[in-house]
Amino acid sequence: MKDEIYPTNLYLSPEKDELFEKGPWPKPFVFNEDVVNVFDNMISRSVPLYREVLACAAHWTKAYYQPGTKIIDIGCSTGTFLELIGRFLQQPATLVGIDNSQAMLEKAREKLLPIQQIHQLELICDSAENCSFENSSVVIINYTLQFLSLQVRQKLLKSIYEGLVPGGLLFLSEKVKSPLPQFQETITRHYEAFKAYNGYAQTEIERKKEALENVLVPLTETEQLQMLKDSGFQQVDSLIKLHNFLSLVALK
Ligand SMILES: C[S@@+](CC[C@H](N)C(=O)[O-])C[C@H]1O[C@@H](n2cnc3c(N)ncnc32)[C@H](O)[C@@H]1O
Ligand SMILES: O=C(O)C(=O)C[C@]1(C(=O)O)C=C[C@@H](O)C=C1
């Protein structure tokens, strides 16, 4: 009942992320089978306010969804957001998940079986930059743009802008960096304390950090906003920020 008005109850698989505890761990970081198997646990222990961000995205999706259009989740991983919005949205909709990892989509397909009784579901295994966003009223892209090259990020955001219907919404979450090296250092230390609090050992934190170097390349908040503006989005606002993680909305 509570979930109908404030959807925080995520469907997360319980397999514990111990990937960087004992080798061999993925370096450079990739979304391989081993990562996929523990991904729900990994992301919910590594992204500050993960549950709140997904709940917030569900609320904004419900508010901006236009009947007859698509809701698209780019980098949908194991389908956690689509499953949440599938339960939260009271009217049938077309839900599209895009991810270039087949293993992620296999997990998603399993997780999304129940919501297919209500919604039309399309899971597309391809790189987001090859996909069309035509006739979408809500596009979600959480913690995915950060893995693409800067050129591809800009191209993808432009193509999302073009595909959205007028009044359509982009919900974007990213890891960001501070423009001030001193602040960046303090934020990083605080973020690592958050990870330690969530049960990661210092060695695990260090190994993953090394593996993510040059793979996950964060922008500053200002650079991220500029990229959205350069893609056509003139109305942009920030919703959530904790440590080095930010969620924004942008309107067409
Ligand atoms: C950190 S995860 C996203 C988490 C997910 N949005 C969530 O909130 O649980 C990044 C995802 O993006 C996918 N990915 C990476 N590069 C991609 C690309 N170019 N096109 C589509 N998916 C991509 C990865 O396979 C992975 O599942
Ligand atoms: O663990 C980190 O340092 C993170 O940046 C978390 C993060 C991400 O933001 O994408 C990194 C890799 C996994 O995909 C899940 C979460």
CATH of the domain at 184: 3.40.50.150
pLDDT in tens, 78-113: 999 999 999 999 899 999 999 999 999 999 999 999
Q: How many domains does the chain have?
A: 1
- The atom of ligand 2 lying closest to the CA of 209 is 3
Q: What is the mean pLDDT of residues 53-60?
A: 96
Residues with CB under 6 Å of ligand 2 are 42-43, 46-47, 143, 175, 208, 212, 216
Closest residue by Cα to residue 52 from 250, 188, 247, 249: 247
Q: What distances in angstroms separate CA 12 from CA 6, 32, 38, one per listed residue?
A: 17, 18, 10
pLDDT in tens, 202-220: 999 999 999 999 999 999 9
Closest ligand to C-alpha of residue 172 is: 1
Question: Residue 6: is its pLDDT beyond 80?
Answer: no
Question: Residue 158: is its pLDDT beyond 70?
Answer: yes
Closest ligand to C-alpha of residue 33 is: 1
pLDDT number for residue 2: 62
Q: Which of 49, 175, 190, 244 to mutate to test the pocket of ligand 2 (most atoms within 8 A of CB)?
A: 175
pLDDT number for residue 23: 79
Q: Which two tokens stand for residue 203?
A: 């060695």
Say how many Å lie between the CA of residue 143 and the centre of ligand 1.
7
Asked if residue 24 has a cis previous peptide bond (ω within 30° of 0), the answer is: yes
Say how many Å lie between the CA of residue 215 and the centre of ligand 2.
10
User: pTM of the predicted model, to two decimals?
Assistant: 0.97
Task: Answer yes or no: is the C-beta of 101 below 6 A from any ligand 1 atom.
Answer: yes
Show the domain range for 37.
Answer: 2-251
Question: Residue 244: is its pLDDT beyond 90?
Answer: yes
Residues 135, 121: Cα–Cα separation, whole Å: 15
Task: Answer yes or no: is the C-beta of 100 below 6 A from any ligand 1 atom.
Answer: yes
What share of the chain has pLDDT > 70, as a percent? 98
What share of the chain has pLDDT > 90, as a percent? 94
Q: Residue 250: which pLDDT band, with cuts at 50, 70 and 90?
A: very high
pLDDT in tens, 19-56: 999 878 889 999 999 999 999 999 999 999 999 999 99
Task: Answer yes or no: is the C-beta of 144 below 6 A from any ligand 1 atom.
Answer: yes
Task: Encode burial over 134-146: b for 16+ CB neighbours within 10 A, e otherwise.
Answer: eebbbbbbbbbbb
Average pLDDT, the chain: 96
Say how many Å lie between the CA of residue 1 and the centre of ligand 1.
30
